[in-house]
Amino acid sequence: MANCVQCGRKLPPFSFKKICQWCVQHEAAKRGEGGDSVRQRVMPAPWVQRESTITLKHVLFGANLAVFLAMAAASGSVADFPGKTLVYFGANFGPRTLSGDWWRLVTYMFLHGGLMHIAFNMWCLWDLGTLCENLYGRWTFGAVYLLTGIAGGVASVGWNPRVLSVGASGAIFGLAGALIASFYLGEFSLPSIAIRGTLRSLAFFVGFNVLFGSMFPGIDNACHAGGLISGLILGALIARLAPEHDKPLRRAGVLLFVLLIVGGSAIAVLRWRGASIIHFGKSFVDTHENVERMIGQSENDSYQGVPPGALQAPSAVEGIAEAMP
């Protein structure tokens, strides 16, 4: 099957054309044809591949995989990692995070609970990351990924301070939210049918996983909500205030504004949950035996694998867990 010479899309079987129908419509729109009453700003199609062979999507994918392999080597398993391994590698856990380990709000999004967990998350990252990186550019994509992942971690530790939370899906929901807002509010040189189709796919992705997360235990829906809401805000602000790639200061201002919101939310969570949850954590770490017992109970009672077919993450482990060397 031949590909379009302009965008690389697959052409219909037995077609003798060299350009696909989308590119034909796109060129007509740029010439002012097609009957549109409002001329839209011309921007790159989000799915057009860039020249660079190594993208930030590949870097994030590789980082998640490298951490997973390190955890597998440390635990001797790839199915389900024990709670103390997750904490040792940087899981988001209220007593630790609110005690000063704020770096866990970043590290947790590169950890996964097991093989199926990382497989589905990386599948989602591969697809949404391609779309997001080509729409926003490499560095904005990276900032959106990290900011929404941190926002998801703040929401998780605020709503579920006694659980271990790991996984990239807070950031993945953030990418989906940013894309939804940008496609809905932004101006693109795309046919309306292409925009509507992409929006439907993104809305289905979010809706299905929200519904799935509400039906099964062990899924940190607070993290998903935090990532999605922060992504919607970021995408809307970028689309309205800083859509151009050649105005980095305006784009940086939008990202800084959202960073301040996320930072303020983290301070609010610390004041809300800090004292009680830190006391809760300290009350269970008197001996090594207490820690091991609590970790074992939390894994048996609350750590649930997510069946294939849905986004799995972040995984949540109820109970107290301390990292032991």
Catalytic residues: 169, 224
DSSP code, position 190 = S
Q: How far apart are CA 123 and CA 116, in angstroms?
A: 11
C-alpha distance across the termini of the chain, in Å: 55
Q: Which position has the token pair 């630790």?
A: 96
Report residue 24 as tokens. 């034909």
Helices (H), 76-217: 83-89, 94-97, 104-107, 115-136, 138-159, 169-185, 192-215
Contact indicator for 170, 223 with CB cutoff of 8 Å: yes
CA distances from 238 to 26, 47, 81, 185, 258 (A): 23, 18, 38, 10, 11
Contact indicator for 34, 192 with CB cutoff of 8 Å: no
Contact indicator for 227, 152 with CB cutoff of 8 Å: yes
Where residue 32 falls (left for φ over 0; alpha for ψ -120 to 50; beta otherwise) is left
At residue 23, the 3 state secondary structure works out as helix
CA distances from 63 to 22, 146, 175, 313 (A): 35, 13, 18, 17
Q: What angle do CA 303, 309, 310 make, to 5 degrees?
A: 55
CA distances from 22 to 18, 159, 178, 179, 268 (A): 12, 45, 24, 20, 48
DSSP code, position 131 = H
